[in-house]
Structures are given as C-alpha cells and as structure tokens.
Amino acid sequence: MLAPVRTEAPDETPVSLDEVKLHCRVDFDDDDLLLEALIGAATAHLEKILDIAIVTQSWRQDFGSFEYLRLPKDPVQEDGLIVEYRDAENQQQTLSSSTYRLLADSQSSYVAVEPGSQWPQVYRRPDAVSVFFVAGTPVDEVPLSLKAAILLHVGHLYQNREAVTVDAVSNFLPLGYEALIWPFKKVGV
C-alpha cells in the first residue's frame, strides 16, 4: 500500500477565524493571518495523529492488488467511492460499483468484494488498484470535542509562540486536549 494522496482539500476549516478570535479573546485584525495559519496547523496535526479527515475532502489510495483494500482516513462516505485498476494488459479500468461495497470495523473503513462477485486479475505493479474516496464530514457535523481540541491547540500556539520559554512553565498542550481527542483514537494505534 502506497501513501494516501489527498486529491481535493476541504473548502472550509473545522473552526472559523471568528470562533478562534473569540476563544483567544482577540478583538483586532492584526493577527488574522497568523491565526488562520495556526488553525491550519492545529487541524493538520489533529488529522495526522488521529489518522482521520475532519472536514469533507477527497483522497486516493493505491494498492498493489485487490487483496486488502483498507482505507487510511475515516469517516469514509459511500458517495464518491470509485475503484479503478490496471487489468492484466496494464490498461486502466473502472470497476462496476455492483462488484464491491464499503464496510467498516473497529480499525477503519475498507472495500470488500460483494458476495457472489470476485476481483479481476490485475497487472503486477504497486499502484495496480486505486480507490478514490471522500472522507470527513460537513463543518456543521464535526464533533464538538474535535472543535474544542482545535481551539485549545490554536490558543496554546498563539500564547506560546516560541519552542522554549525562560520561565518554568511547561509548553505542552493542555491536559484537556488529550481528553477531548481520546475517543477518536483508533484501536491498536
């Protein structure tokens, strides 16, 4: 399995600039660019450590065969799921959606062959099978605990802009951050 590739970034962020300014008690516009960058950094960090897509975005995952089609980002939406493959002659084909279905277990979502169907033969190459999928949720459906974690992270980064401080105060993320994201951690990760 090759690294996943995001093919379309989200149109919106999980928290707005106004929400962040309210959380950080910022009532001026001078730091808007900084705060927007911190929103992006905090969101990317959370998506990376939880291995999820927070807001709706499109991805492609390539596989060497049909053997095991586990998708690396959750939650995966059924709409937009497309499976392409390289046939035995190395020609690009699109698999009929009646051949497969989307399933999920405690680890993540995966594509499975429909009962009574079978996977076609593929050309031997590391990207013989490509699964295109949409992951994440609309902004208004993002869990409040993830939004709160992003707000905590942005507030922390805004207040502590250096890696080292001269006082004895720790610069680790607040304890509440871990409590907010813990339910979204994948089993065994």
- Predicted confidence (pLDDT) at residue 170 exceeds the cutoff of 80: no
Within 8 A by CB and 6+ apart from 77, the residues are: 56, 133, 134, 135, 136
Encode 38-80 in three state secondary structure. Answer: HHHHHHHHHHHHHCCCCECEEEEEEECCCCCEECCCCCEEEEE
70 and 116 in a single domain? The answer is: yes
50 and 61 in a single domain? The answer is: no
Instruction: List, for residues 120-135, the tens digit of each pLDDT value.
Output: 999 999 999 999 999 9
129 and 62 in a single domain? The answer is: yes
Sign, CA dihedral 22-136-189-185, equals: positive
**Residue 164 — pLDDT band, cuts 50, 70, 90?**
low
**Per-residue model confidence (pLDDT) at position 185:** 85
Q: What percent of the chain has pLDDT over 90?
A: 77
Radius of gyration of the chain (CA): 20
User: How many distinct structural domains can be found in the chain?
Assistant: 2
**Dihedral, CA atoms, 20, 22, 27, 28, nearest 10 degrees?**
10
> Which residue range forms the structural domain that includes residue 171?
5-54+139-184
Instruction: List, for residues 10-59, the tens digit of each pLDDT value.
Output: 999 999 999 999 999 999 999 999 999 999 999 999 999 999 999 999 99
Domain-located, residue 159: yes
Residues 63-87, mean pLDDT to the nearest whole number: 94
